[in-house]
Structures are given as C-alpha cells and as structure tokens.
Structure 1
C-alpha cells in the first residue's frame, strides 16, 4: 500500500518553535502525522518544509515547489503572521500568493489544511493604539484565508479565537508560539477535522506533554538571547511604520472615526479577493 504523504508548509508555528525534541523541534504537524494512519501496512511519509520567519512569499517561491514535487495526499499551509509584522504588508499580495499555493496543491488532488491565527498584538499584550493596526492586518489575513479555504475545499481550523487560545499554559515565553501542550492542542484539533472527513484513521495525539516544561531559568535565557534578537529585528523593520499607524489610530479615535479604518481594511480584502484568478502551475518533474 502506498504511503500517505503529508507535507507541511509555513513558518515557525509549523516548524515547531516552542516544542523542542532532542536537538531539534517537533511541532503540531509532526504530532499530527503520527495519528493519520493505523491500517496494516500503511505508513505516513511526513515532510516539514516550514521555516521560522517565513512569509507567504517564501511559501510560494520556495516551499510550495518543493512540496509539489513530493505529490502529497495532504498539505498544510499555515502562514501569514510574519507578513503582518513587516512594513511591506499588502493584503492584495498576500491573497494572490495564497491563492496560487492553494490552487497548486488542490490541483494535484491534495487535501488542504489551513488555519486562521490569533492577533499578534493581543498575544503580546501591546497597548491599544499599537495593537489596533496589527489586529486589523491579522483580521484581513484571516478573512482571506477563510474565503480561499472555502473556495478550495480546505479543512480549516478556526484558531483565531476561543477559550483554549487564552490559556497561558499553552503558550511559550514569547507569547507568540505554542509550547508543547499548545502544539498538541493544534494537532488534536486538526486531527478531529481529518477524522470527521474520514481522512485520519489513527488515534489522535495525546494532549499531555511528553517533556517537562522549560524552567524559569531557561525561559529567561531565551528572552535574553533569541527573544531580544527577535525584538530588535522587528523594531528595525516594523516599528517606525507601526508608530505612524498608531498615531493615525489615535487621531481617528479622538475624532470618533475609527470605523473608517475598519471599513477601509474590509474594502481592501474584498478588492483583493475580487482580483484573484486561478494561476496554472507547471507540473513539477
């Protein structure tokens, strides 16, 4: 029996940041792969192409071509947060890239897994004027992912809100990545979608952690090293623009015209979706 091929595309969430295993990372997709098949003689070939820091451009230009060559039965595409954290953010471009990626995998017959994601400003606990622009961007990305997931018949995980997302025990010290317990929740919820669709026949991943949670000392070391480096990169790239957006946010609040910002964002999403057309991908060798 041919192995079930599962390819995961995305950024640090899918790469497994927050879920260390040995000298590397595991993550929700690897946990999910273990529960996809229980039939005698059926194995799962899992390939994780996700890379920390990836944006939709990286998925389109690098990860998708590699994934298509593997001709997967199942492909997960969970991406978009890093796009919202860049000064180059443009919802039209994000929508066009995702449309091409979704079309390519479903065009090969793969089942597509997608997810909308929480607002990074709220997760980081930023002040309202700073969090507002990021929330608006993430809502725009989520709206695009919702629409395209329906268009291409994807199995979509609503991971942008819900009580489970507010449980701090599920998140790492950086407040943006799940810890092992959180990755397991993502895996279990995706598994439920696949089981309902008749595509997962193995048992769901356990919700209980396999490894002890990082110590407070380890968490502080991360914040002082990788966490600080991440903050410096974002400050260099996004902060000047974010401060301008925050000033605009405060002006609209003072005038009572904040609804105009939401209407403008909604109009941009509608225009981006209306402009899409299916792009034919060359069949990979």
Structure 2
C-alpha cells in the first residue's frame, strides 16, 4: 500500500475464489470473462497507477480447492490486498456444511494475514427471494455468520452481499440465472470500492429503470430455453461428478499491471 493516501491506494491486489470472482457471465470486449474483481482492479488503478493485479479464481472450485491451490500462491506474492470469496459451490451440494467451511476459511485467512495482506471477505447472497435457491438460505445465513465472526477476529473487511436487494432484479443476473451479469458485477465492484474507501462516481444503490413487461408466453419460452441450455447441462455435470472448471487454470495467474480504465456503465 502506498503511504501518501492509505484509503484506496494499493500497489498489488490478488483475487481468489470461484466463478463469481473469475467473472462468468460478464464478457469483456475481447470475449474473455471480466467480472467484479477486474472492475475493482480498474477502480483501484485509477487511484494508484501501476497497480499490479492477479486473479487466481477458477469456476467450479470448492472452498478446499481454493485454500489448497490458490491461497499458497497468493501468500507467496505477498500482495497488499486479497479478496476471498468461496464456499458457494460447497453449499450447493447436499453435504455442504457451513461450520466445516468456516474452519477451512479461517486457515486461509490466517495464512493470508500472516503474509501481510489486507483481506476482504464476501458473504453469500440472500437466496430467500429466488425460488430455485430458497432451500439454501439457512446454510448460507449460517456461513455468513461465521464469515462476519472471522472478519472481526482477524481484522478483515467484509463486502456484505446479503442485504444488496438491488441485485434481486433479474437484470442483475446472466442468462444462466446462477451468475451475475455485467450490471450485477458492476454494482458489486462499486460496493467493494465503498468497503475499501475507494472514491467512485457511481452508486451501487441506484434504482433500476422500470422493466419492460413480458407476456406469459414469452416468459415460459425463456424458462424452457434456460432449462435446456443451462439447467440440464448443470445437472448432467453433477451426476457425472464433473466441474465446469475441470482442466481450467487461472485467467490472470501472475501479478501484472492493470491497463485501461474501469468499464463504463452497463446498458441493460
């Protein structure tokens, strides 16, 4: 961290996690995935030119994999700032235990803090308003409680996604309805900036414009296409014991300078 302005000025930043942090459903200009972490890095670089950024997140990763594969690499980089969000894929599985996840998370937090990094943790979304995910609400709430307690114990900041009701709008989500879309990623990046004290011109709380009405037939056709293109393949991978991240590596495996400016407001 630079010394002349402690708020929002970092020399190096590493993002750890799964598809949420990798940036699925937020395509960049070159077709690669972008996401809130890339957007946050752009905001940080606007206040600290020369910021170096790595994103080790890989879609489909379980918390244990993030801890064993990504945390040691990040600790060796000794960055000023680390964002850590993982555990959602574990909770999607029948045996996902939020208490056990919290124990693994604390191991990661201890190591990253020991390497001198400021650590930012993320709570899970409130799925109570999503019919297909409502049954997970209790487990997510329990895990969030652990996350907040760990943050207090180890002096970490928290980006609390649970009360972000602005993300309840379907336009915040991608076509797969599981990952945030461009506008959702933009708002999460702005929320992270707020937590870190990074000045930004936009407000993540900004109300949505009125949505265009859809007739019943169009809505059902959209649901059927979603089931065919996303739900069925996802269920198939679960049955085969496969992950969307099998064979994949980090999109930005080493610290390197951030080029360009934060993406402009999304048109949705």
* Same fold by TM-score greater than 0.5: yes
Among 39, 51, 55, the alignment partner of 1:44 is: 51
Structure 2's unaligned 5+ residue stretches are: 3-9, 207-218, 242-268
1:180 Cα deviation from its structure 2 partner: 0.2
Instruction: Give distance in 2, aligned partners of 1:35 and 1:20.
Output: 18
| Aligned CA distance change for structure 1 residues 15 and 23 (closer, same or farther; 3 Å) | same
Q: Residue deviations 1:38-85, cap 9 Å, x none?
A: 457x31111111111111101110010111111110000011111111
Determine if contact 2:151/2:158 at 8 Å carries over to the other structure: yes
Specify the alignment match of 2:142 in structure 1. 140
Determine if contact 1:34/1:205 at 8 Å carries over to the other structure: no
Specify the alignment match of 1:104 in structure 2. 111
Determine if contact 1:184/1:205 at 8 Å carries over to the other structure: no
Please list, as runs of the form range in 1=range in 2, the aligned pairs for 1:73-92 lying within 5 A after superposition.
73-92=80-99
Structure 1's unaligned 5+ residue stretches are: 209-215, 238-285
Q: Residue deviations 1:81-139, cap 9 Å, x none?
A: 1111123322332111100111111112211111111245753x23xxx833x222111
1:165 Cα deviation from its structure 2 partner: 2.2
Specify the alignment match of 1:158 in structure 2. 160
| TM-score after normalising by structure 2 | 0.72
| Aligned CA distance change for structure 1 residues 235 and 139 (closer, same or farther; 3 Å) | farther
Q: Does 1:31 align with 2:31?
A: no
1:233 Cα deviation from its structure 2 partner: 2.9
Q: Which has the higher contact order (CA 8 A, sep 6+)?
A: 2
| TM-score after normalising by structure 1 | 0.68
1:222 Cα deviation from its structure 2 partner: 6.9
**Secondary structure of the structure 2 residue equivalent to 1:76:** strand
Query: Which structure is larger by alpha-carbon Rg, 1 or 2?
Result: 1
Higher fraction of helix: 1
1:235 Cα deviation from its structure 2 partner: 5.8
Determine if contact 2:12/2:80 at 8 Å carries over to the other structure: yes
After superposition, the CA RMSD in angstroms is 3.0
Determine if contact 1:6/1:72 at 8 Å carries over to the other structure: yes
